[in-house]
Amino acid sequence: MGTGREASVSLDGVRDKNMMQLKKLNTVLFPVRYNDKYYADAISSGEFTKLAYYSDICVGAIACRLETKGGTMRVYIMTLGVLAPYRGIGIGSKLLNHVLDMCTKQNVSEIYLHVQTNNEDAIKFYKKFGFDITDTIPDYYINIEPRDCYVVTKSFAQI
């Protein structure tokens, strides 16, 4: 009889044929409704956007946008989330590790994201992967408190 840990977790890319899976995840995970640009960015980021499958059930996703700045490539993590019942079994880490691997493989200079200043769990999570708070943007959010956010960044040594 399997416990959670034994069940296999696999990753799959996002295409137009299965995009609704990502949309379904986002509707329950985040209070925001994302627009077309979000999904277009996600698909065009290729390997940097992944769905996580827990024994064939789609339970989480990481979605990134690729940015080029002065000839170097940056990655911006738009969303990372896992459905509540499936948290705590390493799926979020697996998703993030995959993207970090891709960053080293594709010579990405840095990867960053925005986090609300009071979201300590998230900050702790990203710090474990070598991210640091690099900036604070006041009044980033309009109608949730606190309105400030941190910019959380991990830089890669250029080879």
Partner 1 sequence: MGASLPPKEANLFKLIVKSYETKQYKKGLKAADAILKKFPSHGETLSMKGLTLNCMDRKTEAYELVRLGVKNDIKSHVCWHVYGLLYRSDREYREAIKCYRNALRIDPDNLEILRDLSLLQAQMRDLSGFVETRQQLLTLKPNHRMNWIGFAVSQHLNANASKAVEILEAFEGTLEDDYPPENELCEHTEMIMYKVSLLEESGAFGKALEELHKKEPKIVDKLSYKEQEAYLLWKLGRPAEASKLYRVLLSMNPDNYRYYEGLQKCLGLYSESGQYSSDRIEKLNALYQSLSEQYTRSSAVKRIPLDFLQDERFKEAVAKYIKPLLTKGVPSLFSDLCSLYDHPRKPDIMEQLVVEMEHSIRTTGSYPGSDVKEPPSTLLWTLFFLAQHYDKRGQYDVALGKIDEAIAHTPTVIDLYSVKSRIMKHAGDLTAAAALADEARCMDLADRYINSECVKRMLQADQVTSAEKTAVLFTKEGDQLNSLHDMQCMWYDLASGDSYFRQGDLGRALKRFLAVEKHYSDISEDQFDFHSYCLRKMTLRSYVGMLKFEDRLHSFPYFHKAAIRAIRCYLKLHDTPKSTAEEDEMSKLAPAQKKKMKKQKKAEARAKKEAETKIEESTACGVSKSGKRNVKPVDPDPHGEKLIQVEDPMAEASKYLRLLQKHSPNSLETHLLSFEVNMRKEKFLLAFQAVKQLLKLDAENPDSHRSLVKFFLKTGSTSSPTTEAEKLRCSVLEAERPSISQLQNKSLVEANKEFLGRHEDSLVHRAAYAEMLCLLDPSKKTEAIKLIEDSTNKVVQQTNGALGVAREWKLKDCIAVHKLLETVFLDSEAASRWKSRCAEYFPFSTHFEGKRSSVMPDSVYNSSLKSNENGDTPNHPMGQTELNDGQLEAFKSLTVST
* Interacting residues with partner 1 between 65 and 104 (CB under 8 A): 76-90, 92-93
Pair 10, 53: CB distance under 8 Å: yes
Binding track over 10-49 against partner 1, x by CB under 8 A: ------xxx-xx-xxxxxxxxxxxxxxxx-----------
Query: Left (φ > 0), alpha (ψ -120 to 50) or beta: where does 44 sit?
Result: alpha
Spatial distance between the Cα atoms of 109 and 93, rounded to a whole number of angstroms: 21
Instruction: From 1-9, 42-50, 66-74, 99-107, give the range in contact with partner 1 by CB under 8 A.
Output: 1-9
Verify whether residue 76 is a known catalytic residue. yes
CA atoms within 13 A on the CB side of 51: 21
Binding site for partner 1 (CB under 8 A): 1-4, 6-7, 16-18, 20-21, 23-38, 54-59, 76-90, 92-93, 113-116, 118-119, 121-122, 125, 128, 140-144, 149
